[in-house]
Chain A
Amino acid sequence: MNHTAANTITEDLVRPILRTTWKFYLGVAVLGSVVFAAVSTWFYQIYWGLGVTGDNWPVFWGFHETNFVFWIGISHAGTLISAILRIVNATWRRPVTRCAEAITAFALMIGALFPLIHLGRPWLAWWLIPYPSERGLWPNYRSPLVWDFFAINTYLTASLLFLLLPMLPDFAIVRDRAAGFRRKIYGLLSLGWQGTPKQWHRLETAMHIMALAIIPVAVSVHTIVSFDFSMAVVPMWASTIFGPYFVAGAIFSGIAALLIAMALIRKVLHLEEYLQPIHFQNLGKLLLTMSLLWGYFTFNERLTVWYHNEPSEMPVFFSTQSGPYAPLFWTMVFCNFILPFPLLAIRKLRTITGTVIASCGVVVGMWLERFLIVVPSLAHKQLPYSWGTYTPQWPEIVIMTGSFAAMGLLYVLFCKFVPIISIWELKVGQHPPLKAAEAVQAAEAAGELV
């Protein structure tokens, strides 16, 4: 690529880091206030106990569990999509990957907090960590919650490394453009990156191996989250379809979140030249595929339950189809299928605005889906004497709102301190592909490659 184009890319992507506008401070202040309110509410809940929430017999999992599943699902936006696109060498991925990987890291952190928030005594959460102790307790490896601990931590560790490693060359670029204290900080963050051919090869090989490892881990994470439900003998939970259903739903909501984040970044940071309509078009096609897949799984799950006509399952089924949860169920169907289908299937409607509207619908729909999996089943267990209802209380609503604000806040801070589009990967995308193939062939002929 020519030198001027490379310079323009660097200039455009480093600019948001080196120049701070009032919008940044306003965003941090507003989002930070909501997060502060949510954290204060959590302390209030710890002080007064879980009785201040709507969790009560027989529904002990409400908004907190819904948010846990929802955020873990959103985390599938990034690393999984980025890893798949990297392996299939989709060239259009380059401006998208870091936006996506950041969503994964932050959504996992927020999602992993909810089991802690849902604990009456969160300071004992470290009992999950396996080590020989005097108290004679040991984590039970047959508990799906312990599987969650291992799966989420593996995915979080791998995703953070997958996000951080390709940042090193970009930190080096920012280091060379910055001055004073910033230069020192980015100098430390770049870990002495030099950009020698050896470093580039090692980085690319490492990213490729990690992409291969992360795909099955990502699939396993949401399958294991689904096991929290499907391993329990609760009506409409003990389902063999839950693993793939959860994974499909997670990727679905993840792509939607990614599209919304991309549209916001594009507008606020003026990155129209890099996040182009083609990226929204391609991700829109993926979202459409996932919408169809979600519809297929939902139909499968509902049809088999209805056909079996099991006395214990039918009350749950009807409570969602025509009972008290029906408005939520049909809103979910509208948001996840009826709204996105025309917007994404008709080429003329698959614009940036169209994909963002569809994505907003999907995020709402998928949150409702998580709620409808968790609550109606617990409210209608096998024996009618144990039936009950669930109404969320203000602490749960504030904490949930705070989790969305936390996502926004972390993303705003990330965009402020890290180039949100990978500079070096974008530059590589401008290289002529034919020449690369020729160079590899030449090196092979010279015996330099194994």
Chain B
Amino acid sequence: MKAVYALYSHPDAAQRAVDELRAAGINDRAITIMSSEPLEEYEFGQRDRKTWMTWIAALGGAIGMTTGYLLTRLTQSAWPIDTGGMPIVSNWTNLIIIFELTMLGSVFATVITLLITARIPGRQSPLHDPEISDGQILIGVLQPSDPDVVERALRIGAGEKLKTIS
């Protein structure tokens, strides 16, 4: 069997299913959760919160700042243009370019980090079910070693829809 999953209408039921899977000895990493909205109110929605994204954004900003500084300073030195009695390397005006590139660097770093860490673009998971978009929450296990145990854990009440992919 390739995968076992169940769809839950209510997050409380999904949380119970996750708890049951854990109690059955399934590792957190093996449990797949999918929903059409973030469910941070629930413990299962708090998984994988840790991220370096803020620091990477700051690093991107620093790279952007350095690029802005070098772009303005080096090019003004290489192609000197005399404008209105201002110095050839005019730091006051260069600050504007440096600022914009700092922010651009930070934004690019954020987006790249998002794409890499969230694996976007990516292939659709074999566990995907269109009913997720109707508000259902999917809890499943890919390649379960003991499908019966997983099925028992996912069958927590009358509301769930249990499905298997073979």
Contacts and interface: CB of A to CB of B under 8 A. Distances in A.
Interface residues of A, number: 69
B101 A150 contact: yes
Contacts, number: 208
A165 B107 CA distance: 12
B23 interface: no
Interface in A403-450: 423-424, 427-428, 431-432, 435-436, 438-440, 442-443, 448-450
Interface in B98-123: 99-101, 103-104, 106-107, 110-111, 113-114, 117-123
A195 B34 contact: yes
Nearest to B92: A142
Given A191-B122, A195-B34, A209 B57 contact: yes
A172 interface: yes
Nearest to A175: B133
Contacts of B96: 147, 150-151, 220, 224
A168 B36 contact: no
Contacts of B71: 130
A347 interface: no
B164 interface: no
Contact of A205 (B37, B53, B83, B120): B53
A182 interface: no
A196 B39 CA distance: 10
Contact of B48 (A197, A424, A442): A197
Given A150-B100, A213-B107, A192 B121 contact: yes
A47 interface: no
Given A138-B79, A193-B120, A443-B43, 14 more contacts: A7-B135, A10-B135, A177-B133, A187-B124, A192-B123, A200-B45, A209-B53, A209-B57, A210-B107, A216-B103, A423-B36, A424-B36, A439-B46, A448-B46
Interface of B: 9-10, 32-51, 53-54, 57, 61, 71-72, 75-76, 78-79, 81, 83-84, 86, 90, 93-94, 96-97, 99-101, 103-104, 106-107, 110-111, 113-114, 117-125, 128, 130, 132-136
Interface of A: 2-3, 6-7, 10, 130, 136, 138, 140-143, 146-147, 150-151, 154, 157-158, 161, 165, 168-169, 172-173, 175-177, 187, 191-206, 209-210, 213-214, 216-217, 220, 224, 423-424, 427-428, 431-432, 435-436, 438-440, 442-443, 448-450
